Amino acid sequence: MTPTGLYQRMSQRTLRHLVLPVLVAQLLGVNGSVAKAEDDQGDQYDRARLQHPELFKVYYDENVLEYCGLLTHESALGFAMRRDDLLVARPLSDAEKRDVRIAGAIAADKAYGSHGLAQSAWCKGEGMEAFNRFVERYRATPYGTAHQTE
């Protein structure tokens, strides 16, 4: 992902998650009900994170890979395999999967924003750890040991 693409992605996320709800609330003249709805959503995603910590971590790590430009063919397939392993072991409804996926994205978005100038170190540390785990998972399969041509 190019730096411009990353900036555009972050701008879209910022607009969608932070600015739009505030603008809508101001336009509608609503204050308490919007805050209550945001609290309910926060609780919903906090619950998903606490109820499914392993799956949450997998989704979080996949988002970290995206932010850090580390999403490759092997890491993406390793992510999908790890996610599927967890879902086979503990099936979830579509709504539960969505909530955990969104909770992972929210946490990665917050982590990305909180690292400021240290984003490079974050990617070299946490990003590379996630990358290595996913690639290792992929390479542990017969598909991962075959010579790949791209």
Query: What is the model's pLDDT at position 32?
Result: 45
* Structure confidence at residue 148 (pLDDT): 53
Domain ranges of the chain: 3-144
Count of other CB atoms within 10 angstroms of residue 8: 12
Q: 26: part of which helix (H) or strand (E)?
A: helix 20-28
One-letter identity of residue 148: Q
Q: Helix, strand, or coil here: 72?
A: coil
Measured CA distances, 114 to 39, 77, 111 (Å): 21, 28, 5
With 0.75 as the threshold, say if the pTM is over it.
no
Per the CB < 8 A criterion, the answer to whether 70 and 123 are in contact is yes
Determine the Cα–Cα distance for residues 58 and 130; give it in Å rounded to an integer.
8
Q: What is the pLDDT of residues 56-65, one digit of tens each?
A: 999 999 999 9
Low-confidence ranges of the chain (pLDDT < 50): 1-4, 6-7, 11, 14-15, 20, 23-24, 27, 30-38, 149-150
